[in-house]
Amino acid sequence: MSTTYTPPVLERPMPVPTPLTRPFWDALTEHKIRIQYSPSVGEYIFYPRPLAPGTLADDLEWREISGAGSLYTYTISTRPVAPHFANEGTLVLAVVQWDEGPKFSTELINVAAEDIQVGMRLKPVYCDYPEAGITMLRYEPES
């Protein structure tokens, strides 16, 4: 018996909102950033959760933030991080720290490798994917 093998077509994974995280993604489609805040902890929280991390306080509320932040760290990935990213080319895998505190995993775009500095100021870039019903949040240098 002979077998044939057809390599699967691997698309880049897109975020799939959950009922609890939906407000974050809904805000992004409006090109706004809304994350959770715990009044009792006195801190913004990311990613979305049902209860505040650390205290498990049940007081999380959604608040809009500007999205401005600075580059906490990054790496330049020149080879595909998974077969799903085979066509993406070089990625700048970045962690942005919002001015409100939480960190956000993202990509830097519109910047040359030699111009990237940890600590540099960044602003949000809203990337719409209407077919997926998703807006992804990437970052670029502030000026």
Site residues for other proteins per CB under 8 A: 1, 3, 8, 10, 12-18, 21, 47, 72-79, 81-85, 88, 91, 93, 95, 103-107, 118-119, 136, 138
> At its nearest, how many Å lie between other proteins and the CB of residue 58?
19
Give min distance, CB of 121 to other proteins, in A.
15
Is 86 within 8 Å of 117 (Cβ atoms)? Answer: no
Tokens read off for 2: 């002979």
Please say which residue, 43 or 68, places its beta carbon nearer to other proteins.
Answer: 43
What DSSP string describes 40-107? TTTEEESS--SS-TTT--S--EEEEE---EEEEEEEEE-S-SSGGGTTS-SEEEEEEEETTS-EEEEE
Indicate the residue among 72 and 126 with the shorter CB distance to other proteins: 72
Q: Is residue 27 within 8 Å of 5, Cβ to Cβ?
A: no
Between 31 and 129, CB nearer to other proteins: 129
Q: What is the closest distance, in whole angstroms, from the C-beta atom of residue 73 to other proteins in the complex?
A: 4
Query: Cβ 72 to other proteins, closest distance in Å?
Result: 7
Residue number, 51 or 81, with CB nearest to other proteins = 81
90 vs 143, which CB is nearer to other proteins? 90
CB of 106 to other proteins, least distance (A): 5
CA 121 to each of CA 8, 11, 20, 52, 104: distance values in angstroms, whole numbers, following the listed order: 40, 32, 30, 28, 14
**How many residues appear in the chain?**
143
